[in-house]
Chain A
Amino acid sequence: MANEEIIEIRISPSGEITVEGLGFQGDECDVALDPFLKALGAARETRRKPEYFQGVSRGRTIRVGE
């Protein structure tokens, strides 16, 4: 069964924005997240999640802003 694809945007109380892809496979995560990153701010830090290395689903968490 396919995982549900979710894009999660978090805004911290200090205004920091994090964009995270959940349940994506292959390169779909990058493709899905990039337009949101461009619109919300340049990527400052990218962190691959454990799922990324498991070959089943792929997740990426990115903080945006200066």
Chain B
Amino acid sequence: MSKVVKIDLQIRDPEAFIQALRDIFGQEAVEVLQAETIREAIQAASQGKGLARRAYGGAVFRDAVAVVRLGTQYAASLRREDGRVLEIRGRVPYSDMALVAREDGSVELLADHFTDQQILTALRAAYVGRVAEKVARRQGPGRKILEPVLEENGEIVVRLVRVG
């Protein structure tokens, strides 16, 4: 069985996380458990009725809300502090990347141990950007989200400024 790693990000908004997965991997590449709502999909997955997740060595998990299949190619970019752009390209290695539901209904992302850390960084940035965008939209047209910036120390910074 392949070793998996957690993305180490508290996922409070699974809908936004699925949007972020689609931002990075493309709409078609993200398979989501059929349900009326993501909340219902999580509930089903947490009861063991989720999408099968094939891992290296044939181990199967049946608790995934969403999966990005092994071998899926990706291309993403992150703007660095100095203005240069970090291009991230590759493919999902060795086992599917899965948004897995726990019995308590919370979710976490599991990825193969050899997954490029940079794509996980881009995914974190996309998720936080999506959450911030939802909150800002609810507050009306007063704030604009700037493009995420990757700093020298590895931190991602998402800034919202007031407009108008």
Contacts and interface: CB of A to CB of B under 8 A. Distances in A.
B89 to A, nearest CB: 20
Contact of A9 (B13, B132, B143): B132
Given A15-B124, A35-B138, A6 B10 contact: no
Interface in B1-21: 7-10, 12-13
B161 A4 contact: yes
Contacts of A15: 7-10, 124
Contacts, number: 70
Number of chain B interface residues as a range: 20 to 34
B155 A11 contact: yes
Interface residues of A, number: 21
Contacts of B135: 35-36, 39
Interface in A1-26: 4-15, 17
B76 to A, nearest CB: 15
Nearest to B6: A15
A5 B117 CA distance: 32
A20 B139 CA distance: 18
A64 to B, nearest CB: 7
Interface of A: 4-15, 17, 35-36, 39-41, 64-66
